[in-house]
Amino acid sequence: MKHPTNHIFGHTPETLGAWCDERRLPAFRAKQILDWVYAKGVVDPEAMSNLSKREREMLRDEMVFLSGDVLAHQRASDGTQKLLVQWTDGDARPVSASPEAGTLALPVLGQHVEPDTRRQTECVMIPADDRRTACISSQVGCPVGCRFCASGLSGLDGNLSAGRIVEQVWRLSRILRETDEVGRVTNVVFMGMGEPLSNLGAVVPAVRTLSSPWGMGISARRITISTVGLPKAIEKLAEQLDLPVTLALSLHAPDDTIRRQLIPWAEYTTIDELLGACKKWFQKTGREITLEYTLLRGVNDRPQHAKQLAELAKTLRANVNLIRYNEVGGLEFKRPRTEDVLAFQEILQQARVNAHIRASRGRDIAAACGQLRHEHQPA
């Protein structure tokens, strides 16, 4: 059986070069293989024509190329596309509360880990003008358990490896190669299933591969990492990742009382502490923060909430993304009224806060923000 960690999308030129060296293959073979995978979009060793028969057989026998199966491919009326991927070779990584493993030492809601069982995640391609944004998952399920989000309803099953994070973008890119006039992924957002800062050990190398010229070649400035936020984790990301990515803080409330009602992990920190960490992020990286705020009817969408949010946003260099709640079956929350959303935005703008209303894309296939989940359960 192939070792699940020998995943082509988890390799760098250095590690693949070492793999080739161990098998007495020419050093330039690593570059050729990566060129086939990323530049040409080929993951069938038999099609890699500049490799010898022996080398192609070696790749086929020892290397994992696509480590999951697409169970469903859905297209929304607005052009959004969603893939449900089932990971089948035992590569889903159990979660440890070890900082050395890149995870956060916090309670995990509903965690159950069986290393060799099948696991599923969803990823989404969002078209808009000349942008093609891949919304990807970093974990199977989510440990945070936000009360209004579908991704954490079943708790956390495990972390995705760096290879599987990159594979999602590659799969979405393959769709574009064949069907889209832009033909490539231009932006990546870590806003699918999971809490990215709870899987830093995989997210950081995945971002490096996504932004590298030898990899997906996506500008780091077009990569956004979204987090529910813990100060130490934000500081750790700034230390580990020396690339100009965008940090998005899922705030969702203007005060700690409401935030703790909506987000279980908010019990472990305060908004002031989070904003302090965001200021340190800006000082170290020079990159503005995006504050994400999901509007829930009657919960956090009143004028007084907008005024409170404006005061928070003005304490740091930040943009505000307002997100209309996207309905999730079985949850009590309701989508805000359009007039309330516009009034909320106007209050922010009058306070000179740069506030945008994010379009809800893919709602008719449950691909919008907060709707990603396990659509099919394994038998």
Helix 200-211 × helix 231-240 angle, to 10°:
40
**Is the pLDDT reported for residue 117 higher than 50?**
no
Q: How far is the first Cα of the chain from the last one, in angstroms, to the nearest whole number?
A: 23
Confidence of residue 89 (pLDDT cuts 50, 70, 90): low
Neighbours of 288 (CB within 10 A): 16
d(CA 204, CA 240): 7
Instruction: Give the pTM.
Output: 0.88
The dihedral through the CA atoms of 182, 186, 188, 189 has a sign that is negative
**Four-way CATH pick for 8-62: 3.30.70.20, 1.10.150.530, 3.40.605.10, 1.20.1250.20:** 1.10.150.530
Residue 95: what pLDDT? Answer: 44
| Amino acid letter, 153 | L
d(CA 341, CA 343): 5
Residue 102: what pLDDT? Answer: 37
From start to end of 60-112, where are the E strands?
A: 68-75, 81-87
Residue 369: what pLDDT? Answer: 57
**Is the pLDDT reported for residue 207 higher than 50?**
yes
Mean pLDDT for the chain overall: 86
Please identify which of the residues 20, 149, 278, 369 carries the catalytic annotation.
Answer: 369
- Please state the domain extents for the chain: 8-62, 68-365
**Is the pLDDT reported for residue 351 higher than 90?**
yes
**Is the pLDDT reported for residue 230 higher than 80?**
yes
Please identify which of the residues 20, 55, 122, 142 carries the catalytic annotation.
Answer: 122
Neighbours of 126 (CB within 10 A): 23
- DSSP letter at 18 equals H
Residues 81-95 as b/e (b if ≥16 CB within 10 A, e otherwise) read bbbbbbbbbbbbbeb
Over residues 233-266, the pLDDT tens digits come to 999 999 999 999 999 999 999 999 999 999 999 9
Residues 333-347, mean pLDDT to the nearest whole number? 95
Residues 6+ apart with CB under 8 A from 34: 11, 13, 16, 214, 215
> Is residue 20 annotated as a catalytic residue, yes or no?
no
Q: Which residue in 87, 240, 206 sits closest to 158, CA to CA?
A: 87
> Is residue 123 annotated as a catalytic residue, yes or no?
no
Pairing state of beta strands 119-128 and 81-87?
antiparallel
Burial class (CB in 10 A: 0-12, 13-18, 19+), 237: buried
Residues 281-300, mean pLDDT to the nearest whole number? 95
The CATH class of 68-365 is alpha beta
Q: To which H or E segment does residue 347 belong? A: helix 338-350
Q: Which residue in 12, 14, 163 sits closest to 92, CA to CA?
A: 163
Q: Which residue in 199, 253, 205 sits closest to 226, CA to CA?
A: 199
Residue 209: HSE in the Cβ half-sphere, 13 Å Cα cutoff: 28
Over residues 137-155, the pLDDT tens digits come to 999 988 888 888 877 677 7
**Is the pLDDT reported for residue 339 higher than 80?**
yes
